[in-house]
Structures are given as C-alpha cells and as structure tokens.
Structure 1
C-alpha cells in the first residue's frame, strides 16, 4: 500500500516529536518508539494500492498548493482496530480542498477496493498521530493532556510525500516545476 502524506514545518515537527518523547517517558504508547528512519510527524491524506503515473501528475499539481497553514484543535482519540492518540486539525475549507484533491487523484486511477475508506471525504478525521497501539483503551489515562506540550500556534503543511508500506521507501511528491528534470 502507498500513503500520501503532508509534512509539517520544522517548528511544528519539533513540537510533535516533543509530545512523542513525553508520552514515551510516561510509559504510554508513542510514535517515539517507532524505530523506522522514515518515521516523522505527518498528516495522512489517503492510502491506495499504488501511485500510477496519472496519480503522480495530479499529486504534483496538488503539491504546488503548499505550503498551507493549518490549525491544531486539541487531543483526539480513536478506537478502531488500533487505539490512536493524536492532535486533531481543524478541517477548514482550505484543508478540505487539499484533501479532496488528493483523494480524487488517488481515486481516479485506483482499482475498486484499494483505497482506505477512512480517508474518504466526509469520513476523514485529520490528525497527527502521537501514539498508537493494539491495546484497546490505552489512551484513557487522564494525565495525557498534562503530559503534552502546548499546541503549536502557527503550523504549515509544507510538502507531500508517499510511503510504501511494503518496501519502506519514501518518495517526495514535488510540483512539476520543482521536481527532477
């Protein structure tokens, strides 16, 4: 599977990494414990089977809209197959438009059943993951808000990338004018 993710500006990236570290130090599940060199704070916009050339061309156009200011709104918890703790993002019209463009790009050339339905517009909950685990209820700890650093005030999504979950490869999805020639 391939994901399409938006990366955070440097200052916001550091605050998220600080949150990861604080959770780990408190003995809670944290992305700080994820040893992969590809592990970095990001916003997952979509997931699909593969990134075909038509999808890449569309995503290059979407990437040209970055940087994009976004706003954290607070702590969010999900209990899906895994327990997830994250910082929610305000789904304003600009972020919704970016997400819809990414979704339409991956949906335009993906076989049925290869898209993650949780990323579908109307179902998608934009968030930056702070921790995840298979243990149900792992983030019920009432100390969590006190453990986390203050939310960043000014945040920008700065780039699009794709992550290949099978090979671990990362690919920066650059606007055509900035990409390799």
Structure 2
C-alpha cells in the first residue's frame, strides 16, 4: 500500500510540548512512543485527511475552510486504543462542529480515503503490545490536554516534505 498524503493540524508550542511530554513519558516507561519515529517531519498533529493524492484545488479548499477557524482551542480528552494485537494509542480530540464539517467536506472531495468519517485524535504510540495497554494508560494518567491548533500543513510522503498551507494569522504559504 502506498504511503498516504495528509492534511494535518498543528498545535502551538505549548500544545506541541504537552504531546511530546506524553511521548517522553511512554519512552521513559520503556513503552513504544511516537518519539521512536525519528523522521524530520514527525510532529504532534491531528490528521484532517489522509489520501493517496492531494490536488491543488483540494489544498486551496482546505486552506479556505480551515484557515478562518484558526487559531482553534480544542481539548484532548480520553485515550483510545485502536487495532489488534499491537495497537495505536491516541488522545481523542474534542473539536467544534465547524471543524468537523470542514473535515467531512474535504474527505468527501478527496478521491479516496482509507476510513469513512473522521475520528479526531493525536497519536501517542504505534505498535504498542496489547498486554502493555494498562501500563501505558497508567503512565499517561487521565488529565485532559488543551491544544491550540494554529496551522494546517500538507504532508507529501513522496517528496518527504511538509508545507504549511495556512497559519493562525491567516497567511497562506506557498510550496
């Protein structure tokens, strides 16, 4: 399966640090963590849309829909376990209806997406053995994390690059 392009929402510095603290806590407990992903483009984010390709009209529509919503304060509340024997652990993100509507409109306009609907989340760990889920939950605790989403970026796995499409001040950037 080819790697998917993505539209991703990025938190501000404080939100980035809060998510990275979760990543570090998992690593300190000798558990899988997103810190294990050492790619230069790895950063805390909420994926808005994954797709095999993203064309210019879709990117422009994304900036038009999401840009006016930024900055956007959301709450990462609750943890979710996704998968089988080895799981992905993530924080679910409560988002306002306007962002959900934008995400669903973009997903409907995309050529194909791997999953129907949208489950807003921030990934904390991948390939976590199911037997270690309880320990990971204890490490992370139950406190909510407030994130201030400030930018929309495009991940291009073919080029190995990220491009900011729009930032909280509404300024689009060109690739």
Verify same fold: TM over 0.5. yes
Distance of 2:7 and 2:41 partners within structure 1: 14
Which runs of 4 or more aligned residues in structure 1 lie more than 6 Å from their structure 2 counterparts after TM superposition?
none
SS at match of 1:171: strand
Report Cα offsets for 1:94-119 as digits up to 9, x if no partner: 331232233234x2xx2xxx322x2x
SS at match of 1:94: helix
SS at match of 1:95: helix
Q: 1:147 to 1:136 in 2, by over 3 A?
A: closer
Find the counterpart in structure 2 of residue 90 from structure 1: 94
1:50 correspondence with 2:53: yes
* TM-score, with structure 1 as normaliser: 0.80
Q: 1:180 to 1:75 in 2, by over 3 A?
A: closer
The 8 Å contact of residues 70 and 95 in structure 1, kept in 2 or not, is answered as no
Structure that is richer in strand per residue: 2
In the TM superposition, what is the alpha-carbon distance from 1:81 to its structure 2 partner?
8.7
1:143 correspondence with 2:146: no
Q: Which runs of 5+ in 2 are unaligned?
A: none
* TM-score, with structure 2 as normaliser: 0.83
Report Cα offsets for 1:27-81 as digits up to 9, x if no partner: 1110011111111000111111222121122012023221122111211110159
In the TM superposition, what is the alpha-carbon distance from 1:165 to its structure 2 partner?
2.2
Q: 1:125 to 1:23 in 2, by over 3 A?
A: same
RMSD: 2.3
Q: Which residue of 50, 58, 83 corresponds with 1:79?
A: 83
Tell me how many residue pairs correspond in the alignment.
Answer: 167
The 8 Å contact of residues 17 and 41 in structure 1, kept in 2 or not, is answered as yes
Alignment of 1:27-66 (within 5 A): 27-64=30-67, 65-66=69-70
1:21 correspondence with 2:21: no
Find the counterpart in structure 2 of residue 130 from structure 1: 124
Q: Which runs of 5+ in 1 are unaligned?
A: none
1:170 correspondence with 2:162: yes
